Amino acid sequence: MEQQHVDVLVIGAGISGISAARHVLRDNPGASVVVLERRARVGGTWDLFRYPGIRSDSDMATFGFGFRPWRQARVLAGGADIRQYVEDAAAEAGVLQRIRFGRRATGADFSHTDGRWTVEVENEGTGERESYSAGYLVGATGYYDYDEPYRPEFPGEADYRGEVVHPQHWPEDLDHTGRRVVVIGSGATAITLLPALADGAAGVTMLQRSPTYILALPEIDPVTAVLQKLRAPARLVHTIARTRNIALQRASYAFCRAHPRLARKVLLGLVRARAGKGVDMRHFTPRYQPWDQRLCVVPGGDLFKVLKSGRADIVTDRIETFTADGIRLESGKELKADIVVTATGLNVRLLGGMALSVDGDPVDVTNRVLYKAVLLEGVPNMSLVIGYTNASWTLKADLAAGYTARLLAHMRRHGHDIATPVAGDGDRSEFSVMGEALTSGYIARADRAMPRQGTRDPWRLWNNYYRDRALLQDAPIEDAPLRFATAGPSGADTAAGAEESTRAA
């Protein structure tokens, strides 16, 4: 089997992968870059999910790339528009022609002797095996399991005569017109589906065990709309909106964490004002504090509008069992349903399930910490892109991509073949990088698949854009925990030190 060599191999052609490839190409002229993508198109999550109404749950001024303006005034964008935006950005940056579609990376091993990765790949279209070697590897697959969503089994499902669908695998030919629909869940997907399905359905009910904090945002950014009307340059409009929204995101999150009781009162007051006097606040009053789980946003208050219209409703209860015609709740109430949508969440799977090893020794990612929230402890020449949980994913993806490009340029200038972050005793906590911050279901499940949270800088993940920008964009590359080496037997000394640190912890 012939092996193809590149300087940088990026796994994934979603938002993270396109950003990584673009930054590397910009800062490292002449570097060979290839992106492997399992799907047939770019977009990642935005190509996978096709359920009605799918949209971003972050504002597009910050969810869009920092290097390419989002040119619409719409605050939250639909999935198709986002996928097209990512593809256009890839084409404009010269990345699109470097993507090899239908490729699933199954395993990657780094050799200190050769100073490079060997990556085993399956061409899912032909079933053929391929092999790539690369000086540097970027894991940009996100952390969703694209094959299997989180799907609990409910009592009595075998007796149910209607259709059960999960948003991650939405059937293209599903027609909900004139049918009764129950959406199980209370997160961003369920809140998006409710108004989208209300048009045409005989009735839509969102069935939740417990409520989520909901915030209505304007459909159109008024400042952006005015600036566009005045024909201000797109780059200027983008910069103003992005700078403002980053500050607002950070300030609102900090306020909620510092003053949870007051924040709770404010958020519930805004819901009451939107939903109207007759609203039963029991359906909108979570048992947890603001930002213990991710805040859900709705454009133009579409959720509240459809609830007030009577075309949809919310039920807060627990499922006792499915019946032949629907769902019976613990309260004794029965919800009739022709279609049940299980918006029950996602499973977490890092690196798309790719096995990782160094000099033939398997790497247990769940026992490693992240250096500056980008490099995996003890693993040479590899970046792992994990976006924010409390802000727009892309803000962190862009910073990680920029840092990776800077690191590669530094290694070239100084003649380094290998860069490995090495942690010390006490740098590793018992929490995962996601488990300490939020309590959402998929966050809790991520604890079994994600790296550990660090106890101190530069190993601690803060989910703070301003702090990360200083660390990744402004701070020098040279740093004591980051060890540089040349390829060959001597390069293994760094690996031995890293493994000793991991075992000691």
CATH number for position 99: 3.50.50.60
Residue 155 lies in a domain: no
Kindly state whether residue 158 falls inside one of the protein's structural domains.
no
> Are 72 and 123 part of one and the same domain?
yes
Structure tokens at 409: 């340029």
- Residue 124 is part of which domain span? 3-147+347-504
User: In this structure, are residues 135 and 381 in contact, taking their beta carbons and an 8 Å threshold?
Assistant: yes
What CATH number corresponds to the domain at position 235? 3.50.50
Query: What is the distance between the alpha carbons of residues 12 and 342, in angstroms, rounded to a whole number?
Result: 27
Which residues 6+ apart lie within 8 Å of 305 measured at CB? 195
- Domain limit, last residue, from 342, 376, 409: 342
The length of the chain in residues reads 505
Q: Greatest CA span in the chain, whole angstroms?
A: 73
Encoding tokens for residue 312?
Answer: 């949809």
Question: Is 355 found in the same domain as 249?
Answer: no
What are the residues whose beta carbons fall under 8 Å from the beta carbon of 389, sequence distance 6 or more? 294, 434, 437, 438, 443, 463
Residue-by-residue pLDDT tens, the chain, 505 positions: 678 999 999 999 999 999 999 999 999 999 999 999 999 999 999 999 999 999 999 999 999 999 999 999 999 999 999 999 999 999 999 999 999 999 999 999 999 999 999 999 999 999 999 999 999 999 999 988 999 999 999 999 999 999 999 999 999 999 999 999 999 999 999 999 999 999 999 999 999 999 999 999 999 999 999 999 999 999 999 999 999 999 999 999 999 999 999 999 999 999 999 998 878 999 999 999 999 888 999 999 999 999 999 999 999 999 999 999 999 999 999 999 999 999 998 888 999 999 999 999 999 999 999 999 999 999 999 999 999 989 999 999 999 999 999 999 999 999 999 999 999 989 999 888 876 555 566 666 667 789 999 999 999 999 999 999 999 999 999 999 999 999 987 655 555 554 554 444 4
Q: How many CB atoms lie within 10 A of CB 209?
A: 12
Q: Position of tokens 């976006």?
A: 387
**Of the candidates 457, 483, 286, 459, which has an alpha carbon nearest to the alpha carbon of residue 369?**
459
Cβ atoms 304, 275 nearer than 8 A: yes
Indicate the pTM of the whole model.
0.93
* 152 domain residue, yes or no: no
Domain final residue pick, 342, 373, 395: 342
